Amino acid sequence: MLQFSDATVAASQFNWLVMADPVNRVMMLGDAAIPTRQQIYRHAEAAVATFLAAFLHPDRR
């Protein structure tokens, strides 16, 4: 169970945890910075872990 006061803010934060770094790298460095599938999975797992650390209900941690 997640715990947050504003679902829109939580969703936006999750979106940017997932998207910000890969998008910024490609925008700054071009096609050479497109992540591999393995890099995408690692990044997504880290984003989910960060999101859950912030929003997972304390009883579920």
Would you say residue 60 has pLDDT above 90?
no
Length of the chain, in residues: 61
The stretch 18-36 carries a mean pLDDT of 96
Helices 7-29 and 37-55 cross at an angle (nearest 10°) of: 150
Per the prediction, the chain carries an average pLDDT of 95
> Can you state the percent helix, strand and coil of the chain, rounding each to 5?
80, 5, 15
The one-character DSSP state at 33 is G
Would you say residue 18 has pLDDT above 80?
yes
Would you say residue 54 has pLDDT above 80?
yes
Tell me the domain boundaries of the chain. Answer: 7-60
At 10 the pLDDT is: 97
- List Cβ neighbours of 43 (8 Å cut-off, separation of 6 or more): 18, 21, 22, 35
The stretch 19-47 carries a mean pLDDT of 96
At 8 the pLDDT is: 97
